[in-house]
């Protein structure tokens, strides 16, 4: 990406590595990201095919005691393209103000963990522009509760952005990174303050199919009935699902990945990823809550609609910079959108993100859910692209 100008007050850099040796990959990616000696934060997105303790050890060999946050992924995004089983590092340097935190969801609960890490934002309150980057265990329950907890501390004054860690679609255990620690069942955060604007863009690219359904019985993230029928049966019948999706959990997950539910909410339409089915109770489990009494639709998308959403999210994030030159883009992209695009499509998607970034570095990962709360977006998202633009 080239070295920052000697007169630049702030800089970002991004590095990636596909080296199979975890420590070497950490060293390579961190070395490429560190364009200056005054790094304030490193954000690490790594496949858990790696030994993540070794990844952090490799990063530390290059970056010393620079603060680190990060998580495991379902794929990585870099200026050079999308990847698997690799890692990406983004560095923030210069006069960015940074504070990091971690909290155990298992010990505190979702909302309380969100509130605990949000307190870090007070340490960067001297900066005019702030954002709280949240990286969470998306398998730990209703992620909207983490957003509510953070909002209870920060209100609308500090936007929230981030995503849920992945484990390459095994849906077993994800990892969160804080300093030299590899954590599980946690939320980690980095409060970032800047003297120039920070922009957030949010788009999903899905559209409604067919008639709405009434959510007649649900509890938290579990959807029991639609129109007073077992939710699983209605969902599969409406979609004309293949036979194996009715009985095979793995086949169901692959099918549901590209067939989300849309919910009518006061803040607009929200998308819910259908994570798994209970074949005994005939219920569905989603990544976030599905309120009883609301309307739901089957959603669908194609490569064109998803790529159009990519452009829209990037434009929104960059427009929020109020004419300032972007220093970097960070993308949190749902693994389900990747399922729609396929391998050729994700190449085109990341090329589009890089084109919007211009000379600025790009980093990010494929997530199990996305976080974006600003004046125009309301919290936890599924099957959506969230873009953070830094100036």
User: pLDDT tens for residues 67-92?
Assistant: 999 999 999 999 888 888 899 999 99
Going by pLDDT thresholds of 50, 70 and 90, the confidence category of residue 169 is confident
Which stretches does DSSP call E strand in 138-252? 160-164, 176-178, 181-183, 186-194, 198-203, 207-219, 222-226, 229-230
Q: For residue 332, give Cα distances in angstroms to 47, 134, 256, 320.
A: 15, 11, 20, 17
pLDDT of residue 268: 65
Full-model pTM: 0.89
Instruction: Indicate whether 253 pLDDT > 80.
Output: yes
Cα separation, 363 vs 15, in Å, equals 8
Strand, helix or coil for residue 145 = helix
As a whole number of Å, the end-to-end CA separation of the chain is 16
For 250, the 3-state DSSP assignment is helix
Cα radius of gyration rounded to whole Å, the chain: 20
b/e burial code for range 332-353 (CB count within 10 A of at least 16 → b): bbbbbbbbbbeeebbeebbeeb
CA atoms within 13 A on the CB side of 134: 39
Model confidence at 375, in pLDDT bands (50, 70, 90)? low
What pLDDT score was predicted for residue 7? 43
pLDDT band at 8 (very low <50, low <70, confident <90, very high): low
Residue carrying structure tokens 């994700």: 346
- Determine whether domain 207-299 maps to CATH 1.50.10: no
Cβ contact 253:199 at 8 Å: no
Per the CB < 8 A criterion, the answer to whether 333 and 273 are in contact is no
Query: For residue 378, what pLDDT band results from cuts at 50, 70 and 90?
Result: low
Q: What pLDDT was estimated at residue 2?
A: 43
CA dihedral 212, 213, 219, 221 (to 10 degrees): -50
Count of alpha carbons within 13 Å of 212, Cβ hemisphere only? 11
Domains of the chain by residue range: 10-203+305-390, 207-299
């Amino acid at each position: 990406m080239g070295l920052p100008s000697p007169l630049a007050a702030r800089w970002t850099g991004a590095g990636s590595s596909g080296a199979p040796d975890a420590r070497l990959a950490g060293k390579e990616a961190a070395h490429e990201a560190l364009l200056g000696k005054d790094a304030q934060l490193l954000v690490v997105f790594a496949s858990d095919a790696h030994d993540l303790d070794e990844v952090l050890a490799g990063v530390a060999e290059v970056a010393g005691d620079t603060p680190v946050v990060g998580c495991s992924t379902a794929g990585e995004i870099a200026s050079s393209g999308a990847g698997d089983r690799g890692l990406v590092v983004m560095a923030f340097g210069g006069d960015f103000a940074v504070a990091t935190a971690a909290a155990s969801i298992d010990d505190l609960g979702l909302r309380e963990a969100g509130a605990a890490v949000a307190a870090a934002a007070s340490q960067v309150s001297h900066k005019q522009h702030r954002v709280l980057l949240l990286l969470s265990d998306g398998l730990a329950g209703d992620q909207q509760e983490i957003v509510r907890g953070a909002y209870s501390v920060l209100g609308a004054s500090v936007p929230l952005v981030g995503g849920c860690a992945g484990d390459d679609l095994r849906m077993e255990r994800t990892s969160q990174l804080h300093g030299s620690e590899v954590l599980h069942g946690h939320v980690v955060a980095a409060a970032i303050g800047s003297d120039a604007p920070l922009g957030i863009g949010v788009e999903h690219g899905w559209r409604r199919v067919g008639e709405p359904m009434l959510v007649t019985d649900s509890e938290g993230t579990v959807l029991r009935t639609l129109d007073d029928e077992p939710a699983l049966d209605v969902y599969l019948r409406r979609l004309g699902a293949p036979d194996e999706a009715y009985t095979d959990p793995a086949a169901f997950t692959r099918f549901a990945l590209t067939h989300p539910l849309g919910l009518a909410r006061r803040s607009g339409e929200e998308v819910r990823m259908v994570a798994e089915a209970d074949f005994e109770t005939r219920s569905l489990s989603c990544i976030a809550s599905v309120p009883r009494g609301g309307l739901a639709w089957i959603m669908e998308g194609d490569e064109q609609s998803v790529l159009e959403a990519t452009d829209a999210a990037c434009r929104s994030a960059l427009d929020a910079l109020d004419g300032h030159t972007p220093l970097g883009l960070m993308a949190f992209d749902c693994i389900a959108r990747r399922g729609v695009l396929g391998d050729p499509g994700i190449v085109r998607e990341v090329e589009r993100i890089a084109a919007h970034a211009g000379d600025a570095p790009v980093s990010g990962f494929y997530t199990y859910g996305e976080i974006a709360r600003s004046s125009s977006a309301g919290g936890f998202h599924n099957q959506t692209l969230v873009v953070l633009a830094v100036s």
